[in-house]
Chains A and B, each alone.
Chain A
Amino acid sequence: MRLRVNVDAAPGRSPRQAIPFLLPALVLLAALVLYPLVFSLIRSFFDARGDEFVGLRNYVDTFTDPRTLTAFRNNVIWVVVAPAAVTGIGLILAVLTERIRWATAFRLVLFMPMAISLFASGIIFRLVYDEAPNQGVVNAVVVGVHDMFSPASRYPGARPRDGYAATEAGFASIRPSRAGDTISLPLIGYPPQDVPPQALGASPPTAGTGELRGVLWLDVSVGGKAGAVDPTERGLPGVAVEAVRDGQVVARTTTGDDGRFTFPDLGAGDVTVRLPAENFTLPFRGLTWLGASLITPVIISSWIWIMTGFAITFIAAGLSAIPRDALEAARVDGATEWQVFRRVTIPLLSPVLLVVFVTLVINVLKIFELVFVIAPGSVQSEANVLALQMWQVSFGTGGDQGAGSALAVILFLLVAPAMLFNIRRFRRERS
């Protein structure tokens, strides 16, 4: 994993010979990395066009600008949630892969997202989280599971032509009916081609004593008469119909294949006929993953997909370096697998876990492409992060290079602890 550092590397004899070896790299590093760092720092104290010294105003503006504050908030969410999640998942999977023979193949599959661009990953997850259940696989699964537990209505969007008032419970007839009446109930707002195949031609029922009868059919006004049963029109099977008296449901029935329904014994008095709302509720369309409220968790999930393979591979390399003796000794002493993991593996692994975690934090602070590609324009401000905000302010719509430089410096300061961490680790490994 880590290439061995030879401490007593023998130095060459003549310092001047180092110059041609070092010069090309040093020139480029000085011109395009070190000089820009200093320049950005100075530039951040000047105004948008760079003419006027404004002191700390860019920083003050940055910390009072609501867009930047949103970006800060999101960066905090990212740093708190994402690296810990990936380290945890990576640890669990790395430990589990030790038990299988196809560990290499498994790691290869999970490592693959590291090889493709964040841009392509963004497109991939735009498709995965597409809101239409017939496009995005996540919403397809969500809708499928939802419909398994609460089935979709039979006639979404259909409604009575007139004479019915929409209430919370459903469509209630405005005029009361009673036993002996016949009701014709034309429905509209439903595509004729979607009528179930078992539906038969509709015809109005004859009146029956003591019974309330009716017919419910799909009223196609094109080529027929509105509100009347035309010969070609068909009844709608399986629609629930209720008879309501004084706010109580006194009878409930379902239409037959010809659309007819009958309430046999209603007793005396008026009833209101009601079509319960569950007949017509619009289908569940899943969640708005790419909307303002879920966008950051969605982008974090795509990042987890990309980085987990890295964590697994790194942690697995650390695991294989743990001396087997330590584990075996604990097992012989009667420790359970969990105790071995908790008390022996984790402590021995903690330096590796720390390196993985710090690496992921650095990566998260610089996150740009995923947010840029996955978040649709309208919610990009909601998903904003510092690196993206820096680009937008300086090159996107903003054009304010003073504020952009201030953001770049802030980004640098956030990464600086990781810089010190690396230098310290490097020094320790050498001594």
Chain B
Amino acid sequence: MTLVAEEVRIDVPVSGAPRRGVLTRLVARLGNGAVQVVLALVAVFWMVPVFGLLIASLRDESANTADGWWTVFTKPAELTLANYAELVANQAVWQSFLNTFYIAVPATVLVVVMASLASYALAWIEFPGRETLTVVVVGLLVMPIQVALIPVAKLFGALGLFGTITGVVLFHVAFGLPFAIFLLRNFFTGIPRDLIEAARMDGATEWVIFKRVVLPVAKPAIASLTIFQFLWVWNDLLVALVFADQDSAPITVALRAQLRQFGTNIDMLSTGAFLSMVVPLGVFLVFQKYFVQGVLAGSTK
């Protein structure tokens, strides 16, 4: 924070009105202190569940059965990476971890490519029914995927896509498109008209305008969409539960199967859950600005 900002803050107390008594100002100060404390407590409260899971994943079975994760503060020596070693050595779990990439990466790339193409047409090419099509896309934003599970399962069965990674990817792409088009179209229409017109004057084709003018300007929006879509697909359980088989299952589905096998063994469950969280957490922490923007723009999904 810069010095100027500090000065402004001191000059304008939060209580606002000028010429207030010393007492009022003191109360405002204390009130502010209380707000700080309350919010700090809320933040800690919010982190406890994840922290507990992390610690549980770092303790072995006997330690976890004996007492709760919070005893780690008195027994830090119990921490071990053994659960992770065991989990990664489990062929099915490791394969599912890789599968999650095989599903999430193509599903993200395809959505970004298809949606930016379609959004360009909706934003800058006039054609009959453009308005209707845009409204349909907006309507599809909230479409529950349950509506498509049974028909698409049948369709994929007929096409030989049921139980394959391709099938899971295609389903994710289809249901990711409305939001992606909505987000990118909004951004594309905000591009200054002169920019597009100038390119058209120069005789550029639509494809060249799209590639040379629109895409470079739209990088932040595309970044938001990419992060959002990647996490959305990575975190899916329901779609894969229906359309993936044992060999194409992503980590959520594999862990769900292990849920029965491990039963109440929180050491392995927590390790698996944390393994599935590592990638999203990393992506979130590195690209949080884009992710937050994506979620806010996609408030309707």
Contacts and interface: CB of A to CB of B under 8 A. Distances in A.
Answer whether A and B are interacting partners.
yes
Interface of A: 1-6, 8-18, 20-22, 24-26, 28-29, 31-33, 35-37, 39-40, 43, 93, 96-97, 99-101, 105-106, 108-120, 123-128, 130, 133-137, 140, 305, 308, 310, 313-314, 317, 327-328, 331-332, 334, 337, 355-356, 358-359, 362, 365-366, 368-369, 372-373, 387, 390-391, 394-395, 401, 404-405, 407-409, 411-412, 415, 418-419, 422-423, 426-427
Interface in B184-237: 186-187, 189-193, 196-197, 200, 205-206, 210, 221, 231, 234-237
A101 B277 contact: no
A9 B203 CA distance: 19
A140 B70 contact: yes
A125 B49 contact: yes
A71 to B, nearest CB: 13
Q: Lowest 6 CB-CB distances: which A-B pairs, in order?
A: A11-B126, A117-B235, A32-B174, A115-B284, A36-B151, A15-B127
A28 B170 CA distance: 8
22 contacts: A6-B192, A18-B130, A24-B113, A28-B173, A33-B174, A36-B151, A40-B148, A109-B47, A110-B42, A110-B46, A112-B281, A117-B235, A117-B252, A127-B52, A128-B48, A128-B52, A334-B17, A356-B299, A369-B237, A395-B242, A411-B144, A415-B142
B81 interface: no
A191 B206 CA distance: 84
B297 interface: yes
B128 A15 contact: yes
Given A12-B125, A116-B235, A317-B296, A40 B147 contact: yes
Contacts of B143: 33, 37, 412, 415, 419
A408 B150 contact: yes
Interface stretch (B30-38, B72-80, B84-92): B30-38
Contacts of B173: 28
A274 B210 CA distance: 91
B66 A359 contact: no
Contact of B197 (A10, A115, A136, A390): A10
Contact of B256 (A31, A115, A119, A332): A119
B141 A422 contact: yes
A109 B235 contact: no
Interface string B248-278: 0000100110010000001001101110110
B105 interface: no
A378 B17 CA distance: 59
Of the listed residues A20, A21, A35, A366, the one surrounded by the most CB atoms of chain B closer than 10 A to its CB is: A21
Contact of B147 (A10, A36, A140): A36
Given A117-B252, A411-B147, A123 B273 contact: yes
Given A12-B206, A39-B151, A115-B231, A328 B16 contact: yes
Contacts of A36: 147-148, 150-152, 155
Contacts of A10: 124, 193, 196-197
Contacts of B64: 135
Given A18-B121, A31-B174, A96 B39 contact: yes
B238 A391 contact: yes
Contacts of B237: 117-119, 368-369, 372
B140 interface: yes
A81 to B, nearest CB: 20
Contacts of A395: 149, 153, 241-242
Given A93-B42, A423-B135, A137 B238 contact: no
Contacts of A115: 231, 280-281, 283-284, 291
A428 to B, nearest CB: 12
Contact of A332 (B17, B118, B191): B17
Interface of B: 1, 14-17, 32, 35-36, 38-39, 42-43, 46-50, 52-53, 56, 64, 66-70, 113-115, 117-118, 120-128, 130, 133-135, 138-155, 170-171, 173-175, 177-178, 181, 183, 186-187, 189-193, 196-197, 200, 205-206, 210, 221, 231, 234-238, 241-242, 252, 255-256, 259, 266, 269-270, 272-274, 276-277, 280-281, 283-284, 288, 291-292, 295-297, 299-300
Contacts of A308: 46
User: SS class of chain B's interface: helix, strand, loop or mixed?
Assistant: helix
Nearest to A386: B146
Contacts of A358: 300
A203 B122 CA distance: 95
B53 A127 contact: yes
Contacts of B238: 368-369, 391
Contacts of B221: 3
Contact of A13 (B66, B126, B174): B126
B234 to A, nearest CB: 7
Of the listed residues B15, B66, B177, the one surrounded by the most CB atoms of chain A closer than 10 A to its CB is: B177
B149 A117 contact: no
Nearest to A95: B35
B206 A40 contact: no
Given A33-B143, A373-B256, A407-B146, A116 B280 contact: yes
A133 B68 CA distance: 8
Contact of B142 (A16, A127, A418): A418
Nearest to B16: A331
Contact of B39 (A6, A97, A356, A409): A97
A118 B273 CA distance: 10
B282 to A, nearest CB: 9
Contacts of A18: 121, 125, 127, 130
A141 B151 CA distance: 48
Contacts of B292: 111, 313
Contacts of A28: 114, 170, 173-174, 177
A32 B148 contact: yes
Given A4-B190, A22-B121, A119 B281 contact: no
Contacts of B115: 25
B125 A365 contact: no
Given A127-B56, A305-B46, A415-B142, 8 more contacts: A1-B297, A16-B127, A18-B125, A36-B150, A110-B42, A127-B266, A395-B242, A422-B300
Nearest to A404: B150
Contacts of A113: 46, 50
A127 B259 CA distance: 13
Nearest to A101: B1
A46 to B, nearest CB: 11
B241 A391 contact: yes
Contact of A124 (B43, B53, B149): B53
